Chain A
Amino acid sequence: MNRIKSFFQDVYKNRVWLLMVLPGTIWLLLFSYLPMFGTVIAFKNFRYDPNGFFASILNSEWVAFENFKFLFNTNDAWIITRNTVLYNLVFIVVGLILAVFVAIVLSELANKRLSKIYQTGMLFPHFLSWVVVSYFVFTFLSVDRGLLNNILLWFGVEDPISWYNEAKYWPVIIVLTSMWKGVGYGSIVYLAAIVGIDKNYYEAAMIDGANKWQQIRNITIPMITPLIVILTILNVGRIFSADFGLFFQVPRDSGPLYSVTNVIDTYVYRGITTMGDISMSTAAGLYQSIVGFALVMLTNYLVQKVDKEYALF
């Protein structure tokens, strides 16, 4: 009784703060935690019920792991997993190298005004939506009008390449597009960290006769390593979730390209639009969430083992 009473006293004492978090908490409940509860339909045979959300979920028939069995028996499960993981691995590695490289160069350029102009240019794609980017890509890849085929023609290639029907080019196109859009942003995150490094370190190194490369290797990179590690943990945790816009908009939902552009996210989306198998798509989504969660935990645990400072939590 006393504990309940003191609990209510605490709530009363904290009422202003609780009021402040109330709207956000309601949002989190509705848009994050209720869907988490909704994942039980991955274990059910989902059926719409006119009586609303809870009725739909409760009245659907329980099928245990049937949906998962069905999902993993198709070839799709393998393809979408492979595509998602491989693309993300490439994005993480190439993106990290390019972003850190560009950030270091930006911080080292002699002319700071130029450096600022480059930043402005490189960050620009980050602010565009994938819809707009898909138009940009189309201006290059259009079969009869695109810039690339025009250039090829100029070099004497008579047969125009039908870019949106040829899967073999798309791994490269996807990676290039992703880097084009993301490197500016990535590098500026690192640049902000580099700029924050105490210049005294560099002064001391220069007095000791360290050249530029030695300074970068022994001061800049060690100083931004914590940030690199944190961002990489976050990225590894998201290795199972792809950027929907990149894989849906840029290939223009072209069927012949599915073998190299279908990722878990687009697969799940097509579950509600074209395939219509709600439960199996939910199963695919849950598979994505659980593996992603396990990956963050694992990476964070490993990093913690090596150095507690670098761990995310």
Chain B
Amino acid sequence: MWQITMITNQNSSQPTPLNKGNAQNQVNQPNKKSKRKKKYTPHGLNGFPNLLMNILLGSFSIMCIFPFLYVIVISLTDEKTLARNGYQLLPEIWSFEAYRYLWQMKDQLLQSYTITIVVTVLGTLVSVIMISLYAYAISRKQFKYRGFFTFIAFFTMLFSGGLIPFYIVATQFLHLRNSIWALILPLAMNAFYILIMRTFFQRSVPESILESARIDGASELRIFVKIVAPLSLPGLATIALFSTLGYWNDWFNALLFIDEPHLVPLQSMLMKIENNIEFLRQNSLAGGIQNDLLSAIPQDAAKMAMVVISTLPIAIAYPFFQKYFVSGLTIGGVKE
């Protein structure tokens, strides 16, 4: 039950049928305290099926985490050991050499980190503002043209011009090539999020509150900032989370539009070093490294260390944002 309330209490403050059910459970189970009966839960699986399902799901969730741990282990393996034994689960010789190497090459790394962080923060801000304003307007009955604007957003979910016209518009018309906006703008709007937010506004912002504010003479924009936004914080947080992740993990726009090393974001740099760890060296100012030392570079371990470094922020933040994420998934609400 604990986990269930975790999920629903994000949705809205209104009492859901589920909470009612929860209360009833407790009423219906006066025996809950006796030890023998505690194991029997009328709402859950029992006995052998429960064990089997636990093993099944347990091993699947371990499989989901395993590759990340594996990559960490590889990044901590001595390069010669890697060459001799391959990627082992428990390496013969551990080594921090890969991370030491990355530290020497930190110029490009820090640059990419900065780009990714700037793009993520700026992009999330831009997209949350654009999406929530748009969604709020089309969620209000007073807005005469809301049908039209809902349609033009919705239609983009059904039909798109395709990659190449988009690419040509972005490069030839908007001149986004090798500009940081090429990493921000293409991901700023998303029809799906607009529809999610519209439904959210319709449900969680009652017209009556707005009416009283209007009578007091507040302007619509002021109402939006002072009343609507605080009321819709869970929804806004969800959209912000979606777009933060979208920006952090984006490599596609960099692949299309970015050639200059100083604009390459983290994910895109990961792609570049896939074939060429040299990319790091070329673009770092640490020129003191001679060519003959190149052969001593911990190639594989350094690549894996890069993977670890770029994934670690997500892995660390993940347990904290997971519950907000889950709350944003009630897609059934998109329908009018």
Residues of A bordering B, CB below 8 Å: 10, 13-14, 16-21, 23-25, 27-28, 30-39, 41, 48, 52-54, 56, 102, 105-106, 108-125, 127-132, 134-136, 139-140, 142, 144-147, 149-150, 180, 183-184, 188-189, 191-193, 195-200, 202-203, 206, 212, 226-227, 230-231, 237, 244-245, 249, 252, 265, 268-269, 271-272, 278, 281-282, 285-286, 288-289, 292-293, 296-297, 312-313
Would A199 and B332 be within 8 Å (CB), given that A53-B169, A112-B4, A293-B158 are in contact? no
Find out whether the CB atom of B332 lies under 8 angstroms from the CB atom of A193: yes
When A and B form their complex, which 9 residue pairs have the shortest distance between CB atoms, in order from nearest? A285-B162, A199-B21, A121-B61, A38-B165, A35-B161, A24-B134, A53-B173, A110-B44, A129-B249
9 residue pairs of the A-B complex, CB under 8 angstroms, read A17-B137, A24-B130, A30-B174, A108-B44, A114-B54, A124-B318, A128-B314, A200-B17, A312-B335
B147 CB within 8 Å of chain A: no
B306-318 contact mask (Cβ, 8 Å, vs A): 1 or 0: 0100110011001
Would A127 and B318 be within 8 Å (CB), given that A34-B169, A115-B3 are in contact? yes
B34 CB within 8 Å of chain A: no
Residues of B bordering A, CB below 8 Å: 1-4, 6-8, 16-18, 20-22, 24-25, 28, 39, 41-46, 49-50, 53-54, 56-58, 60-65, 67-68, 70-71, 74, 82, 86-89, 129-131, 133-134, 136-138, 140, 142-146, 149, 152-154, 156, 158-170, 172-174, 185-186, 188-189, 194, 219-221, 224, 245, 248-252, 267-268, 270-271, 274, 300, 303-304, 307, 310-311, 314-315, 318-319, 322, 325-327, 329-332, 334-336
Chain B residues near A106 (CB, 8 Å)? 57
Chain B residues near A230 (CB, 8 Å)? 331-332, 334-335
Q: Give 17 A-B pairs besides A53-B172, A122-B60, A122-B61 with Cβ atoms closer than 8 angstroms.
A: A24-B131, A31-B189, A35-B161, A41-B164, A110-B39, A111-B44, A112-B3, A114-B54, A131-B251, A136-B71, A147-B70, A150-B88, A183-B60, A184-B61, A192-B329, A199-B20, A202-B43
A105 to B136 CA separation, bound complex (whole angstroms):
37
A271 to B164 CA separation, bound complex (whole angstroms):
8
Find out whether the CB atom of B65 lies under 8 angstroms from the CB atom of A37: no
Chain A residues near B165 (CB, 8 Å)? 34-39, 41, 282, 285
A283 to B335 CA separation, bound complex (whole angstroms):
33
Q: Nearest Cβ distance between residue B65 and chain A, in whole angstroms?
A: 5
A293 to B167 CA separation, bound complex (whole angstroms):
21
Find out whether the CB atom of B162 lies under 8 angstroms from the CB atom of A116: no
Find out whether the CB atom of A21 lies under 8 angstroms from the CB atom of B319: no
Would A108 and B188 be within 8 Å (CB), given that A23-B133, A32-B161 are in contact? no
Find out whether the CB atom of B53 lies under 8 angstroms from the CB atom of A105: yes
Q: Nearest Cβ distance between residue B8 and chain A, in whole angstroms?
A: 6
Chain A residues near B86 (CB, 8 Å)? 142, 144-147, 149-150
Chain A residues near B65 (CB, 8 Å)? 121, 124
Chain A residues near B58 (CB, 8 Å)? 114, 118
Chain B residues near A136 (CB, 8 Å)? 67-68, 70-71
A-B contact count (CB 8 A): 338
A237 to B219 CA separation, bound complex (whole angstroms):
41
A119 to B166 CA separation, bound complex (whole angstroms):
37
Smallest CB gap from A36: residue in B: B161
A286 to B163 CA separation, bound complex (whole angstroms):
9
Chain A residues near B88 (CB, 8 Å)? 150
Would A206 and B42 be within 8 Å (CB), given that A116-B6, A184-B64 are in contact? yes
Chain B residues near A128 (CB, 8 Å)? 68, 249, 311, 314
Smallest CB gap from A282: residue in B: B164
Would A28 and B160 be within 8 Å (CB), given that A14-B143, A230-B335, A282-B165 are in contact? no
Find out whether the CB atom of B300 lies under 8 angstroms from the CB atom of A145: yes
Smallest CB gap from B175: residue in A: A52
Find out whether the CB atom of B57 lies under 8 angstroms from the CB atom of A105: yes
Chain B residues near A200 (CB, 8 Å)? 17, 20-21, 24
Find out whether the CB atom of B160 lies under 8 angstroms from the CB atom of A199: no
A227 to B223 CA separation, bound complex (whole angstroms):
34
Find out whether the CB atom of A10 lies under 8 angstroms from the CB atom of B160: no
Chain A residues near B161 (CB, 8 Å)? 32-39, 285-286, 289
Smallest CB gap from A102: residue in B: B57
Chain A residues near B25 (CB, 8 Å)? 199
Interface residue from B18, B54, B87, B174 paired with A198 (Cβ < 8 Å): B18
Smallest CB gap from A15: residue in B: B220
A267 to B323 CA separation, bound complex (whole angstroms):
38
Find out whether the CB atom of B44 lies under 8 angstroms from the CB atom of A192: no
Chain B residues near A195 (CB, 8 Å)? 4, 7-8, 18
